[in-house]
Chains A and B, each alone.
Chain A
Amino acid sequence: MKLNIDKIITKYKGKNGAAIPLLQELQELEGYLAPESIRYLSEHTGIPVAELYGVATFYSMFYLEPQGRHIIRVCKGTACHVSEADTLGVAIRSHLGLSEGENTTSDGRFTVLEVACLGCCSLAPVIMIGDTTYGKLVVDKIGKILDQYE
């Protein structure tokens, strides 16, 4: 594992403004930013731990906890909002049996997140699973879509 982190570190060694890409690649590698990985990154780059956490907590794409195998982003942008995205979100969470405050299913299959806009507003309401976008969604299509994901 450390071997791969070392590769990332070498790639950005001596480069300005590396904190964000370093964390992005670390997260791509490990799925989230684990405390020991952040510490390791800091020790080997000289970027203070506090600075790395400062960045990691500022941006919504960084996860400090393990995520499900598939990330579902439910758009809560304006166009989706006026197209009943709230109902859709509630239905997805209930379909997955998520209770309030919980974002990841207990079997680690899905994590449900809200995003501000996916840029496919014309097909509102929209969700994205991984890199795939689903538009013009209605509540009764959800089950079929989610079943496609292991």
Chain B
Amino acid sequence: MSVAQTHSGERASARRLRLRRWGQHGGLLIGGALLACAIVMALCAPLLAPADPYLQELGARLKPPVWAEGGSWANPLGTDQLGRDYLSRLIYGSRISLLIGLGTVAIGGAIGITLGLLAGFFGGRVDMVISFIVTARLAMPVMLVALAVVGLVGSSLTVVILVLGLLLWDQFAIVTRTAVRQIRDLDYIAAARAVGSSTPSIILREALPNVTGPILVVVTLEMAHAILLEAALSFLGLGVQPPLPSWGLMIAEGRDYIFFTPWVIAIPGAALFLLVLGINLFGDGVRDVTAPGGR
């Protein structure tokens, strides 16, 4: 029993050590905080939003935010051109951005990591074929292809996620392949083979867990990438459709008013900037903390 206690004690102290290392990285903390804000906003939108984001009040259009002249606490960030509460739309908009980011990364990651694992682990002909597919994908301009597809099949949240997910897997494949190539000849892989592990089990249980650091960095980069692409698509009218409160769409809808009521663009723009900044800081931090020297 005392042995068991020491064991759990050891386990706990190792965890504490790891936590401390994460806690000392400034960029990681700031990025994590920004990301956490966005996630809380998305999850608790109905609780946090002061009003219905779809409720139009045409008598109260383009009201300024509370700090500007004529603003009031009734609409802390003012209202948009249809008199909808801007803070509420901003809060609900975080759901769209995160959904796009996570959905794209889930699809792109599944494709890219699988291809990267196979190419890196087997090398030879498998690697040649997969590298060719990656090169072919890199030759396609993401924005143009996305525009073309969305233009053809019509745009919706699902379509945007699918299109971006099916396009943004190249970095996953490239990074995973390189990382796996570096470890596939190490002795612990040979030891697993010598113990009789099957090839799929070696790829998933020996190789994959040892390349998660670089993959996590790509996750954050591509999430930010996807969120910006969605904003761009929505701005062009080919992304998320109104009346959904996407931040990109909010910027698009406000662009006629930029000279008179600049906050309608500045506010969703700042939100987008902070979210993407947070994700990137978080990714950089994760890379630093999980780098071989730091682990």
Say whether A and B bind each other.
no
> Which positions in A face B, CB cutoff 8 Å?
none
